[in-house]
Amino acid sequence: MSQTDAAHLYVEVIRNLRKGSINLHSPLEEIVIRPCGNDLAYIDNRRDAKEKYGFDFWRNFSVDLLKAHNIQRSLLYSQSQRFPDFLFKTKTREGTYTNGSLMELKDAKGSNIASFNSTIPTKTKTLEEVDVINGKKLVSRIAKMFDGNLALDDQYYKFERRCYYLIRTHKESEKPKLSIVDGSFFETVPKEHLFYQMFLNVLRMHMEKRKVKISPEIMKRIEEALSLINDQTIIAGSQTIAKASVKPRLRIMAEVDPHGNPHSEFYPEITPGSFNLILQVSPETKETEKQLSALLHEIYIFSIHHKRNGEHRVFQFKSERDLHQFLHRN
C-alpha cells in the first residue's frame, strides 16, 4: 500500500490551482483528469474526459490492440457507471506492488457527504473485490491493459489497494471545502465486523417488531453464526435460489456519520475555501509530510482527532485565486 498516488494528486492539483487551469468549483472529474490523467489505469467517465476536458484515455492504444482485449467501440467513450471513478496505475518496488489506488468522487451542495451507493467506504480494496462489487470485470480488464506486464501475476488482483475519496461540500457557495480523504477516516470498524453487525441489527429489529424473545444463550449462538457473514465479495454477489427465476443481489449503500465527515462541524479546522489532504497518522505519513513540506511551502500542516479513529494529519491549501474567479463568474 502507498500514499504516493494521493500525495502526487494533491501536489499536481495545487499546481493547477495556482495556474488557474482549475479552481475549487471545477467539476471533480476535471480536478483529477487535468493534472493526473496520464497516471490513471481506469477512468469511468471516458466520454466527458475526451469531450469536456480534451483527454483521450485510449490515445496510446491502436484499434487492433483494443480489439485484442475485447474492448468494444461502445465502451471507448462512454460512462460505465462502475466503481471506482478512477484507478491509478500500478507500480512495483522491490518486487512488491505499490500505488494502484482507487479514487471515488463525492460532490454535495450542503455540508453532508453524498451517500455511497455502490460500496462501503474502506481503507483498502482489492481488484477482486472491485469486480464482485461491479458484477463484471470491466474495471480490471481495462486496468490490466494499462498496467501491462505488472498485471500478469495473480497477486495483481489480490493486493490491497489504498482507497481515497475526493470530497467536496458546499459546492455552490463562495468557498467550498475540497478534500482528498484517506479511506481510514470512514473505516472506523473493520468492514468484516460491520457487515455481520448490520445483519444482526436487522434481526433484532424484526424480533422487536414481532415481540419475539429468545434466551441470551441462543442469541449468542446466532451472533456467532452471523459473524461468518463477513466477506463483501460474497455478500455483493448474485445468489442462486432453488426454484427462483431471479438471482437476488444485495447492493450495499452507506451514509456518513457526522463524526466520519471531515467537513462537518466536528472539524472546524477544515475551513471553507480550502483544499485538503487528510491521512491517518503512520510512519508513511511522516515521510509524506517531509516530502510535501519541501514541495509546497504555502500549505498548513496540522492534526485533527477523529472520535473513533484517532489522529489524522491534514495538509491544507487555500487559494485566493479561486474566490476571485467565483465572484467574477457570478
pLDDT number for residue 193: 84
pLDDT of residue 205: 96
Residue 91 φ then ψ, to 5°: -135, 175
pLDDT at 328: 47
Helices (H) and strands (E) in the chain, counts: 13, 11
Whether the Cβ atoms of residue 76 and residue 45 lie closer than 8 Å to each other: no
For the chain, domain boundaries: 4-186+256-329, 192-235
**Res 323 pLDDT > 50:** no
Ordered alpha helix ranges (H), 148-259: 155-158, 191-209, 216-226, 232-235
Which of 310, 319, 318, 317 lies closest to 279, judged by CA? 310
Residue showing cell 481503507:
123
Q: Are the C-beta atoms of residues 51 and 13 closer than 8 Å to each other?
A: no
Q: What is the pTM of this model?
A: 0.89
pLDDT score, position 26: 97
Average pLDDT over residues 110-139: 89
Q: What is the pLDDT of residue 172?
A: 93
Helix (H, G, I), strand (E, B) or coil at 305: strand
pLDDT in tens, 209-246: 999 999 999 999 999 999 898 877 688 778 999 999 99
In the prediction, which pLDDT does 313 show? 97
C-alpha–C-alpha distance, residues 49 and 137, integer Å: 21
Q: What are the φ/ψ torsions at residue 296 (nearest 5 degrees)? A: -125, 95
Question: What per-residue confidence (pLDDT) applies to 163?
Answer: 97
Looking at every residue in the chain, the average pLDDT score rounds to: 91
Give the pLDDT confidence score for residue 130 in this predicted structure.
93
Q: Among 22-36, 110-124, 310-324, where is mean pLDDT lowest? A: 310-324
Average pLDDT of 244-257?
Answer: 87
**Sign of the CA dihedral running 45, 46, 52, 55:** positive
Burial track 181-216 (b if 16+ CB lie within 10 A, e otherwise): bbbbbbbeeebeebbbbbebeeeeeeeeeeeeeeee
pLDDT band at 327 (very low <50, low <70, confident <90, very high): very low
DSSP 40: E
CA 254/CA 226 separation, integer angstroms: 20
Answer whether residue 155 shows pLDDT above 90.
Answer: yes
72-77 long-range Cβ contacts below 8 angstroms, 24+ apart: 75/46, 75/138, 76/46, 77/46, 77/47, 77/50, 77/51
Q: So what's the pLDDT on residue 18?
A: 93
Res. 1: pLDDT tops 80: no
Predicted pLDDT of residue 330: 44
Categorize the per-residue pLDDT at 320 as very low, low, confident or very high, splitting at 50, 70 and 90: low
Grade residue 192 by pLDDT with cuts at 50, 70 and 90: confident
What pLDDT, on the 0 to 100 scale, is given for residue 66? Answer: 87
What pLDDT digit, counting tens, does each position of 265-304 carry? 999 999 999 999 999 999 999 999 999 999 999 999 999 9
> Tens digit of pLDDT for each residue in 87-124?
999 999 988 999 999 999 999 999 999 888 878 899 99
